[in-house]
Structure 1
Amino acid sequence: MTDVRAAVCRRHGPPEVVAVETIPPLPLGHGQVRIHVGAAAVNFPDVLLVADEYQVRVPAPFVPGSELAGVVAEVGDGVDGLAVGDRVIRTGLFGAFAQEAVAAAASVTRIPAGVDEKLAAAFGVAHRTAFHALRSVARVEPGEALVVLGAGGGVGLAAVQLGVLLGASVTAVASSTAKLDVAASYGATTLVDHRAGDLRQALRAALPGGADAVLDPVGGDLSEPALRSLRRGGRFVTIGYASGVIPRIPLNLVLVKGVQIRGLQLQDLARDGHAEFLRTEAELFDLLATGRVVPHIGATFPLDEAAAALRHVADGHAIGKVVLDVTR
């Protein structure tokens, strides 16, 4: 087998430590498939893994990248239901930024017919996280008021799209007019630039009756004012800390307002609520297959510019998803 090109992190540090090189192909084990990668998406946790600042540590050297789309090129022993030529997406902790990847068959899902590989690669992490958070954790209902922090990012913009589809009135909070304009194009009805003034006052003015739910992939200084915007009995879901700061929430707010604070990690939800998880997955993939949900790709880079793509995400410039076109 011929060597493959891959973006490799040989020491932890800033995005610029990642360099594209030629590496030997990985061996194919029992229950695994080999995938010829067409596209891979870049997520903020990829930046944290490279910096060795994620909650799970990956020793260097490793190939970053948590989600990819491609074609099955080889099937290992013990694999049922997948064949050479199947178009699939795969989500995992690392390994996506390469021309070829090896993955457990259980970790891949077929791409619906007619869905482009770049869109499929951009779909897995953000839309799954957002949809499970909205459906299974926040349990958003039609007519409710939903606040989405980080509404210009991958998970945040996915939450805007999906919140609108679920019938919620969505207030998008982001750091620039450009990001808010995109959120508006996907149905957000109230737009708040948190860098333009006091977020607590802005949310109070926008939602005088209070929000029913808040989705927070950002953390930092945005979490407390968003929590304060909830009506009594509202739901706050924390799903990440793109700001780099884990917030300290005064528990008296939870007591006085009677709100619920819950966290979401997809692997835990899949394990603890397996039947509901599978139902929600099926519903979400139907939305993708029928075109009712289309991931927003704000920037595309070739594999050779993987470090630049990571820097683009690290510096907060991404709108929606950033994708590596591995075929270029």
Structure 2
Amino acid sequence: MNAILCQQYGPPETLRLTEVPEPQPAAGQVLIGVNACGVNFPDTLIIEGKYQVKPPMPFAPGGEVAGRVLSVGEGVTTLKPGDHVFALTGYGGFAEQVVAHATTTLPMPAGMDFVTAASTMYTYGTSYHALKDRANLQAGETLLVLGAAGGVGLAALQLGVLMGARVIAAASSEEKLAVCRELGASETINYTTEDLRTRVNELTGGKGVDVVYDPVGDRFAEPAVRSLAWRGRYLVVGFAAGSIPSIPLNLALLKGASIVGVFWGAFAQREPKRSRQNFEQLLQWITTGQLKQHIHKQYLLADAPVALRDLLDRKVIGKAVVIIDTP
């Protein structure tokens, strides 16, 4: 089978399309013929050795897939060959076949296409866990989303609106902010031309925001924390800007605020029952049309390195997906 392999740590341009042996499922695993694989920021980290998970070389990036079950390992009774599924794999998804744990593989609802399924887990799974389980976001509260035009950012924006919050979207261009407004943002901030803290203060009448969703980090983190209201919650989702910021902890003290970590992948593995309950709600919203992923572009398997480069260069608005022509 064909796979995009990382054979040494480096940028996307070092990845190569290579023929490799077909994997076999062990006990508790399923073998999936991949039809689509989502492109996510952790994929750019894992190929440079900067992610908390370091697979043995060589490996294929790609952490979420959708496709058909080809075979199941010993002890798997909930899935069978031929089932349409989507799965959290961590890595290995930029390939024609991948092995996944049955506990992190879910049946696709009737009528859902592979592209939608492959763009659901990381973005909506992360953002719903963040807003529901970690921030306890309530209707009527104000939510500030940084990096709001990215995959997880747009998911957080849509979910915030669905959960009854007033959503302020912050992003780096007017093109990106236009998409945010289309998807329900009440107000927007261009943080390349506007001062983030000043604009939040103006938009909230000096009160501040109840929740900050931050997948960006770097220089925006401290002004975002300073923009919290009393008992606000700052969600640490990721560091897409590159640098891990240092936060003066006296800010949390003065605001009675919480700085809350969000590691959805660990949550899905450690608390699979609660994770599945979250997905039941998400899938209901998706199948009824209340949530709809914004697909930036579909890439062929051979062009997966280009997809990763576009993500790194901040060209992707919403979600990029790699399409695999599985036999």
TM-score (ref. length: structure 1)? 0.95
> Equivalent of 1:70, from 67, 72, 75?
67
Whether the aligned pair in 2 keeps the contact of 1:12 and 1:60 (CA below 8 Å) is no
- Report the alpha carbon displacement of residue 141 of structure 1 after superposing the two structures with TM: 0.9
- Report the alpha carbon displacement of residue 309 of structure 1 after superposing the two structures with TM: 0.7
Structure 2 equivalent of residue 281 of structure 1: 279
5 Å matches for 1:99-138? 99-138=96-135
Structure 1 equivalent of residue 241 of structure 2: 243
Structure 2 equivalent of residue 180 of structure 1: 177
5 Å matches for 1:1-328? 4-208=1-205, 209-270=207-268, 276-327=274-325
Aligned-residue Cα RMSD (Å) equals 1.5
- The one-character-per-residue Cα deviations of 1:124-170 (angstroms, maximum 9, x if unpaired) are 11100000101111111111110001101010110001000001010
Distance, in Å, in 2 between the alignment partners of 1:303 and 1:273 is 32
Distance, in Å, in 2 between the alignment partners of 1:57 and 1:76 is 24
Distance, in Å, in 2 between the alignment partners of 1:23 and 1:59 is 15
Whether the aligned pair in 1 keeps the contact of 2:8 and 2:57 (CA below 8 Å) is yes
Whether the aligned pair in 1 keeps the contact of 2:210 and 2:233 (CA below 8 Å) is yes
Residue aligned with 1:51, SS? coil
Whether the aligned pair in 1 keeps the contact of 2:142 and 2:168 (CA below 8 Å) is yes
Residue aligned with 2:47, SS? helix
Q: Structure 2 vs 1, CA of residues 326 and 313 (structure 1 numbering), >3 Å: closer, same or farther?
A: same
- Report the alpha carbon displacement of residue 87 of structure 1 after superposing the two structures with TM: 0.5
Residue 257 of structure 2 aligns with an amino acid whose one-letter code is V
Whether the aligned pair in 2 keeps the contact of 1:207 and 1:229 (CA below 8 Å) is no
Moved over 6 A (4+): none
Whether the aligned pair in 1 keeps the contact of 2:104 and 2:269 (CA below 8 Å) is no
- Report the alpha carbon displacement of residue 202 of structure 1 after superposing the two structures with TM: 1.6
Residue 235 of structure 2 aligns with an amino acid whose one-letter code is V
User: How many pairs does the alignment contain?
Assistant: 325
Distance, in Å, in 1 between the alignment partners of 2:303 and 2:277 is 38
- Report the alpha carbon displacement of residue 56 of structure 1 after superposing the two structures with TM: 2.5
Identical counterparts, % of pairs: 42
Distance, in Å, in 2 between the alignment partners of 1:53 and 1:274 is 26
Q: Structure 2 vs 1, CA of residues 84 and 296 (structure 1 numbering), >3 Å: closer, same or farther?
A: same
Distance, in Å, in 2 between the alignment partners of 1:78 and 1:105 is 10
Residue aligned with 2:220, SS? helix
